[in-house]
Amino acid sequence: MSVKIATKTQVETVLDKYDTFLFDCDGVLWLGNHLLPSVVETLTLLRSHGKKVIFVTNNSTKSRADYVHKFEKFGIKASSDEIFSSSYATAVYVDSILKLPKDKKVWVLGGSGIQDELKLVGYESIGGSDPTYNKELDLDDPESPIYHLDPQVGAVVVGLDTKINYFKSAVTMQYLNNPEIPFLATNIDSTYPHKGLKLPGAGTCVETIACASGRKPLTSCGKPNPSMMDAIVKAHKIDRSRSIMVGDRLNTDMKFGREGGLATLLVLTGIETVQTLNQLEKDVQPTYYSEKLGDLFELLQ
Amino acid sequence: MSVKIATKTQVETVLDKYDTFLFDCDGVLWLGNHLLPSVVETLTLLRSHGKKVIFVTNNSTKSRADYVHKFEKFGIKASSDEIFSSSYATAVYVDSILKLPKDKKVWVLGGSGIQDELKLVGYESIGGSDPTYNKELDLDDPESPIYHLDPQVGAVVVGLDTKINYFKSAVTMQYLNNPEIPFLATNIDSTYPHKGLKLPGAGTCVETIACASGRKPLTSCGKPNPSMMDAIVKAHKIDRSRSIMVGDRLNTDMKFGREGGLATLLVLTGIETVQTLNQLEKDVQPTYYSEKLGDLFELLQ
């Protein structure tokens, strides 16, 4: 059974056992634009104890640089190399695993975060946030990009695009008619919590393209993909046995931590409840749970 | 094995055995805007022999009235009651099987054909081709329809919407948060052949909403759904044993005919080839195949 963190001694044990703390962001640090209680204090506490903190998010619409700004707005200090977004994980995958030649371009159905991260590892991308595509598909226009596919495109990346439309989907599908062009997903979360609503997540964009093209993505680069954990372990030289993943979702965050060989801490400020926790089989229970992340700070006082 | 229709005698046998001819349209009568050879002559021949002809299409973007105009443009005479579109099949399903009360509205993600057919059976629909939704989702607008769901909506219909965007998907998803509201698909074809291209089909719109809402459609009303065949048999009082379904797709048209207890004729002017035909198990082989529908006329000369 998961241990509930409810006493000062338990917090001290956690601080003693782990050197590295990985955090999901939305539902753990904040909910939409609302910072959760005692989060800044908890992160300050961890840093003052010499702990390494790393932020891991499946939101691909932002780059790591965008995330640094978002953290600043909440009064949280974080550097770019402490942040792992699915946009970054995808760029790393294209570069290190796909080994796409640098003279090839990437067609993106998704936000600017993906394009910014691809650019940092040396790839030109097209599509994405280009306003050319923010209109209806016009098959009567001989100049339409649907008739002029770029022969330099060597990979297709699909993530959450909150401006997705039929035109973009139709062009993405044409690129995937070529079976030589790999199809990558940044992540496959079905929903995207925003401003108190559940909105369509990256998974809906991926499913549209999978159905149209008759192809499944080669991989989904974000959580819970173990290649994202491998990249984090390698970049920060962390000891998995002395690391803990903190998150609010069982099927992404907790799975990601557990299968990556880390301890896990579920917080109940996001998706899950005590009820969903109690329904779990013993072997997939998180190591710990707490009402909120801020309890680590508050219980120590 | 399927019998290839290649002689005058074989055509005479077909004319002798069947009183009712059901036709898929795209890939059988025409390809996009291009009428296929000897189609008008074949239909005239069948009518002159006293055969009943019925047209069955999964394209839900048009109503039956729209189809009559499309037939006229090709010089084919057809009346509204000879046409069964998935838009009509969906309206019949909402009315006769779902028995949705007439004071309820239907939220439509799809084209005007669905709305026109719903109106004919007495339902008001919203969404659909309303230009209000042809823009980006604006969560900062307190007047956005996403915050003002219509409490009269009692069903959601999803079909092909060539103007689909994130705003429409997000609103559709909000209606489906209510588990009491049934979710219907007009059809689930993954692709939509148009102007020589393969474009995203109704199935891609359905998959988007299924992923976002975590729900599967209650049913898909078009081919190969047997309830569409039941409606045709009932409306035209046809004898299934003396009827034949003509189509270009194995997984919709031929399945629809075979499982509906009809003979089947595959034409090779659309999706399938002799190769795909030869790969079939014996029990799913169509009764007949021919290079094109017009062979029925040409071989008789």
The verdict on A216 and A228 lying in the same domain is: no
Q: Which pLDDT score is estimated for A195?
A: 78
Contact A109, A164 (CB under 8 A): yes
Confidence label for B206 from pLDDT (cuts 50, 70 and 90):
very high
Residue type, A230: D
B146 and B244 housed in the same domain = no
Query: From the candidates B19, B24, B103, B239, which is the catalytic residue?
Result: B24
- Is residue B230 domain-shared with residue B192, that is, in the same domain? no
Using a CB–CB cutoff of 8 Å, tell me whether A130 touches chain B.
Answer: no
For residues A65 and A188, what is the distance between their CA atoms, to the nearest angstrom? 22
CATH number of the CATH domain containing B123: 3.40.50.1000
Domain identity same for B236 and B283? yes
* Phi, psi of B251, deg, nearest 5: -80, -10
Statement to judge: residues A213 and A128 lie in one domain: yes
Q: Does B200 contact chain A (CB < 8 Å)?
A: yes
Q: Report yes or no on A82 lying in a domain.
A: no
- Annotated catalytic residue within B16, B19, B26, B141: B26
H/E stretch holding B13 = helix B8-17
Task: Give burial (CB, 10 Å; 0-12/13-18/19+) of A141.
Answer: exposed
pLDDT band for position B16 (50/70/90)?
Answer: very high
Which of B166, B190, B220 is the last residue before a domain boundary?
A: B220
Rounded Cα distance between A221 and A232, Å, is 13
Binding site residue list of A? 24, 26, 223, 248
Q: Is A26 tagged catalytic?
A: yes
Q: How far is B156 from chain A (nearest CA, A)?
A: 16
Domain-located, residue A84:
no
**What are the structure tokens assigned to A207, written together?**
């499913």
DSSP character string of B3-53? EE--SHHHHHHHHHH-SEEEE--BTTTEETTEEPTTHHHHHHHHHHTT-EE
Q: What residue numbers bound the domain in which B12 lies? A: 3-58+224-300
In B, minimum Cα distance to A165 occurs at: B165
In angstroms, the CA B28 to CA B294 distance is 9
Q: Residue B38 — pLDDT band, cuts 50, 70, 90? A: very high
For residue B192, pLDDT over 90 is answered with no
Q: How many angstroms separate the most distant Cα atoms in chain B?
A: 70
- Select from B33, B34, B28, B74 the least CA-distant residue to B54: B28
Cβ pair A61, A200 in contact under 8 A? no
Regions of chain A short of the pLDDT cut 70: none
* Chain A residues lying within 8 Å of B174, measured CB to CB: 197
* Total tally of structural domains belonging to chain A: 2
Residues of B in contact with A146 (CB under 8 A): 197
Q: What digits encode the pLDDT tens for the residues B112-167?
A: 999 999 999 999 999 999 999 999 999 999 999 999 999 999 999 999 999 999 99
DSSP letter assigned to residue A26: B
- When pLDDT is averaged across residues B58-69 and rounded to a whole number, the result is 94
Q: Residue positions of A in the annotated binding site for Mg(2+)?
A: 24, 26, 248
Q: Please, what is the average pLDDT of chain B? A: 95
Same domain, yes or no: A12 and A123: no
Chosen domain end from B164, B188, B220? B220
Cβ within 8 Å of residue A73, ≥6 positions away: none
For chain B, what percent of residues have pLDDT higher than 70?
100
Domain boundary, last residue among B203, B220, B237: B220
Residue A76 lies in a domain: no
- How many A/B residue pairs have CB atoms within 8 Å? 103
Q: Which ipTM was obtained for this model?
A: 0.91
pLDDT attached to residue A271: 83
**pLDDT more than 90, % of chain B:** 91
Q: Nearest-CA distance from A259 to chain B in Å? A: 25
Mutate to test the interface with A, among B166, B177, B220 (most CBs of A within 10 A): B166
Q: Could you tell me if B169 lies within 8 Å of chain A, comparing CB atoms?
A: yes
Residue B54 vs residue A282, higher pLDDT = B54
| DSSP per-residue codes, B145-172 | GGGS--TTEEEEEE---TT-BHHHHHHH
Please choose, from the candidates A247, A196, A197, the residue with its C-alpha nearest in 3D space to the C-alpha of residue A222. Answer: A247
Average pLDDT over residues B199-216: 97
Confidence of residue B70 (pLDDT cuts 50, 70, 90): very high
Active site residue B116: no
Please calculate the CA angle A37-A42-A43 and round it to the nearest 5 degrees. Answer: 115
B239 neighbors B219 (Cβ within 8 angstroms): no
